[in-house]
Amino acid sequence: MRRSICSSEPPVARAGDVANWKFTFTTAQALPKGTRGRFDLMSRGRRIDWEIPLTKGNANVIWIDLEGQKPLALQALKDHPGVFEFTLPIDLKSGDCLSISIGSPSSQTGNRCQTHTQRKRHFALYLDPKGKGDFKEPELFHVDVRGGPLDQLRVIAPSLVSRNKRFDVIVRFEDAYGNLTSCAPEGTLIDLSYEHLRENLNWKLFVPETGFIALPNLYFNEPGVYRIQLKNLLSSRSFLSPPIRCVPETDYQLYWGLFRGESSRYDTLSQAEGFLRHMRDEKSLQFLSTSPFEGEEETGSDQWKILSNQVIEFNEDERFTVWSGFQWQGETGGEGVRQMMYAKDSKGLLRKKDSKNSSLKKIYKAYSSKDLLSIPCLTLAKPFAFDFKEFDPQFEKVVEIYSSWGSSECTAREGNPFPFQGGKKGMQEASSECSLISALNRGCRFGFVAGGWDHRGPYKPFQEAGQKEYTPGLTAVLVKEHSRAALFEALQNRFCYATTGAKIVLGFTIAGQGMGLELGTKEKPGLEYNRQIVGYAVGTDTLQNVEILRNGKVIHTIQASSDRLDFTFDDSESLSKIALISREEVPPFAYYYLRVRQKDGHMAWGSPIWIDLNHPQTPKRPKKK
């Protein structure tokens, strides 16, 4: 049986190209006059998508060419961006052609291709010879979208290494939109160097067809901070890796990822494989939790099953750790929004409409904290606020301090640089008791994590209302091995910190103990009189300062003039004078954490360290009302 022919001109495009595009359909069967057609560009109209053309004008328009006929105009389908309809004004015999053109018929300004690569990017043509709009299977055109001209170089390397211990580095050759590319002028060479590089080593890299190169067995001879430099010898442009801190010896590694976040390129549910591959390869995350909302209107049972299966497929020790997770929204104030994350695979969604999952108390009673992690998110944002009055220390080991919607550390009046701002129809700042500092002062104990970019479910209206947005955040976790079990345990121990998206390397200790830990004067009596804080920060840009906070207030600021800083600070105030008295069943305490600022506006928050006053002369606890 003869088949219709679909051809695209040009058949290959570079991401972001502006050109005239022609899609020619040669019909295998006669199409009578009055045949209705529908052309679907398969574009949502976002900045990353294929540009949607106009139906009138001289630039970026769409029209149809028929032999012997004037150009035929199309009509945009209302409420369906990128979909156009037309009616044939003549009969088409078998073998006749119909050409759909997009661009500018009489000028150099054409139509912009999408900005991300895609093999066999489809365009659909639907035809109904009866003219009733009863469209069947479409005819498909395709264009291969490849990476554009080489624009930038990116290094993927560990953030923390031991002296003389070998590690691997990946170099990505990217276009202006972050796609892998091999499109570079002939003879392009890349020079690789770093501080203390031995003279007998001379690294010169060609641009490979794959768009990336893996460089094995690099190591540093001396402790310090390193940044690998890549220089394009043809354009003389240089690119630096995120900082790599080399220490004499460490059992820990630093891994980067997200527990709540979405991709602007792929939908988590309908494009699960593409989403996970994108976050692993393009975004270079080392761990990730899925995070659709639990409601059936967003996540159907079949979709959850497919997503869970993809999590199993992509989870790989020493490369990419993935958990099945989802968002659960309870009552404002008392429960708020939670990112729920399972420790193991093949678990079901905890739908709030089910009576057994209708409240956090019921969920926590049915599960073990070894199997489920519950992360309070957006605690300071209406209508998702959480006041921490029912805080559960067993399940809520970490709390989201920052996401692209804003920071919940403190209120705007208290100096929050990333407040929730959205006007009357957007997210509003909730009561100060929903801030993380307020919760910490009341005796809640948790580490800090960051959320990413998220426009799904109940967040969608805020984007449309013009809610202010910031850069997506990142979470760093300190762990001895790259595995799901080890990372989950590290989160339960609060061995983590949050950033606004920059891979800032930081750490601090009190009495030799690191972030997330609890100390006491019973085991270390000297802490009652002096707490020596030893720390460091290494930025991706010049540091502005490092702030040491005690009980939610800055007690010491160290100014910086470079991208690295090591510091020591002694807090010699008597612990009995500064200790906070909680109404919870815990002794008087003080807590400390770090806040790092860069000159480019990025920030990081190191998880707290707590000091309990376990002494006979502790202040009396106030009576409960």
Going by C-alpha positions, the residue among 325, 361, 318 that lies closest to residue 343 is 325
Q: What is the pLDDT of residue 622?
A: 40
Q: What is the mean pLDDT of residues 233-254?
A: 95
Going by C-alpha positions, the residue among 229, 239, 242 that lies closest to residue 161 is 242
Could you give all domains of the chain from N- to C-terminal order, each with its CATH number? 5-146 (2.60.40), 152-250 (2.60.40.1930), 251-501 (3.20.20.140), 505-625 (2.60.40.10)
User: Is residue 484 classed exposed, middle or buried when 0-12, 13-18 and 19+ CB atoms within 10 A define those classes?
Assistant: middle
Going by C-alpha positions, the residue among 161, 166, 162, 233 that lies closest to residue 193 is 233
Residues 507, 238, 167, 162, Cα dihedral to 10°:
-40
C-alpha span between 467 and 372 (Å, rounded): 32
Q: What is the pLDDT of residue 617?
A: 44
> 96-110, 320-334, 338-352, 502-516: lowest mean pLDDT where?
96-110
C-alpha span between 99 and 321 (Å, rounded): 47
Q: What is the pLDDT of residue 423?
A: 75
Percent pLDDT > 90 in the chain is 87
Question: Taken in order 67, 68, 71, 72, is the CA torsion positive or negative?
Answer: negative
For residue 468, give Cα distances in angstroms to 213, 247, 422, 423, 458. 38, 40, 6, 9, 16
C-alpha span between 189 and 316 (Å, rounded): 34
Half-sphere exposure of 220 (CA within 13 A, CB side): 25
C-alpha span between 484 and 114 (Å, rounded): 36
Q: Distance between terminal CA atoms of the chain?
A: 85
Whether residue 228 contacts residue 169, with contact meaning beta carbons closer than 8 Å, is answered with yes
Q: What is the mean pLDDT of residues 139-165?
A: 96
Q: What is the mean pLDDT of residues 340-368?
A: 95
Which residue type sits at 418? F
Q: What is the pLDDT of residue 616?
A: 45
For residue 492, give Cα distances in angstroms to 121, 373, 447, 448, 612. 43, 8, 9, 11, 20
C-alpha span between 221 and 382 (Å, rounded): 51
pLDDT digits (tens, 9 = 90+) for 461-496: 887 788 999 999 999 999 999 999 999 999 999 999
Q: How confident is the model at residue 456 (pLDDT cuts 50, 70, 90)?
A: confident
Q: What is the mean pLDDT of residues 385-404?
A: 96
For residue 183, give Cα distances in angstroms to 49, 223, 235. 21, 37, 14
pLDDT digits (tens, 9 = 90+) for 172-190: 999 999 999 999 999 999 9
How many CB atoms within 10 Å of residue 251?
Answer: 9
Q: What is the mean pLDDT of residues 544-553?
A: 98
Q: What is the mean pLDDT of residues 256-282?
A: 94
CA 535 from chain centre, in angstroms, equals 27
CA 511 from chain centre, in angstroms, equals 34
Q: Look at residue 520 and tell me whether its pLDDT is greater than 90.
A: yes
pTM for this structure?
0.92
How many CB atoms within 10 Å of residue 283?
Answer: 18
Q: How confident is the model at residue 621 (pLDDT cuts 50, 70, 90)?
A: very low
C-alpha span between 351 and 386 (Å, rounded): 20
Going by C-alpha positions, the residue among 143, 120, 103, 111 that lies closest to residue 11 is 143
